[in-house]
Amino acid sequence: MSQSWPALVLRASAVDGSEDLVSAVLTDFNPVAIQDLAERPLPPGGLWDPTYPPIPDPPPTPLHWSVCFSDPGERDRAGRAIALALPLLKIERVDLPDEDWAARSQQSLKAVRAGAFIIAPPWDLPPPAAHGVEATVIVIEPSMGFGTGHHATTRMCLRLLSALDVADATVLDLGTGSGVLSMAAALMGARRVTGVDVDQDAIDSAESSARLNTLPDSITFVVSDFRKAPPAPADIVLANLTGGMLTSSAADIAALVRPHGRLILSGFDHTEVGRVLASFASFTERQRLSEDNWIALELHRRG
Ligand code: SAH
């Protein structure tokens, strides 16, 4: 089914730190996806350069984002709030059809290395034992589902997950998108993995990508809003959402983490990390990663 998303396309004329202010304004709203449209050069050796990390941070580019909302009213309110806070920003209201997402995400898609994984589109499968690096390949068919490995937040979640002891754990992936984090957890030997997403198209694409991989049958994808239909609590919970949603749904998310369990969070930046941490007061910070101004945290539930 073809759907379109009420969206804002935001564009700054210079590198001026607009990102921080826009992110701060957006914490009052619940955008369903933020996509960075800025053109950036590939790191030397291509995106799955086995020396990654560290890829040197690319030079900063002026803000160029598309921000999708679940309804046009919220999009318009967010647009007005952003215009008030940043009068010089170019703001365009658009309805972004799904096809645009698919086309855009496919344009420059190459395999990407993150943690113990290489995320590859079907047309760029790395040769076995590429460059002598041990890595597990996850094939993702790019489509509507966010999570092709080309966003810093997905890669950082994979890096944090790669360092956890997942074997035999139960795992919940809140906002699974392409299903990439769920597939990684299943391949690491989790006992049960549940990927939930409110968007039927995302679950359809997660299921079709899952069929391209050899996965254990511990993995299930479910269409649901975790705030309205909470799944069973798990040992490890992954939530790559937005700062606003993490803050406003912190109690729902915290209740899904079993005592002494781990929580991996991403989808927010430096301006939001304080608010996100403050809303997860019963957790201790264990790890913090940062890439492209995005942050990912690994938290430990104290009891
Ligand atoms: N986990 C993937 C995708 C993150 S994008 C990755 O790390 O790359 C965030 C996803 O969360 C989107 O697919 C969006 O549809 C979904 N989402 C947003 N709010 C949600 C909610 N309340 N319940 C379930 N899914 C939600």
Residue 66's H or E segment, with its range, is strand 64-68
Dist. CA 100–CA 216, nearest whole Å: 33
Does the pLDDT value for residue 156 go beyond 50?
A: yes
- DSSP strand pairing (112-114 vs 294-301): unpaired
Give the integer Cα–Cα distance in Å for 253 and 232: 11
Give ligand 1 pocket residues (Cβ under 6 A): 32, 146-147, 153-154, 157, 173-177, 180-181, 196-199, 202, 225-227, 240-241, 245
Is it the case that residue 181 has pLDDT exceeding 70?
A: yes
Token code pair at residue 127: 């040769």
- pLDDT reported for residue 1: 41
| CATH hierarchy code of domain 109-301 | 3.40.50.150
Q: Indicate the pTM of the whole model.
A: 0.70
**Cβ proximity of 113 and 52 under 8 Å:** yes
Of residues 50 and 238, more confidence is placed in: 238
Q: Tell me how far the alpha carbon of residue 281 lies from the centroid of ligand 1, in angstroms.
A: 23
The residues near 125 (Cβ < 8 Å, ≥ 6 apart) are 111, 137, 139
Show the tokens assigned to 211: 């069929």
The domain limits of the chain are: 4-105, 109-301
pLDDT (average), residues 143-166: 87
User: What CATH topology corresponds to 4-105?
Assistant: Alpha-Beta Plaits (3.30.70)
Give the span between the Cα atoms of 34 and 287, in whole angstroms.
Answer: 24
Closest residue (by CA) to atom 11 of ligand 1? 175
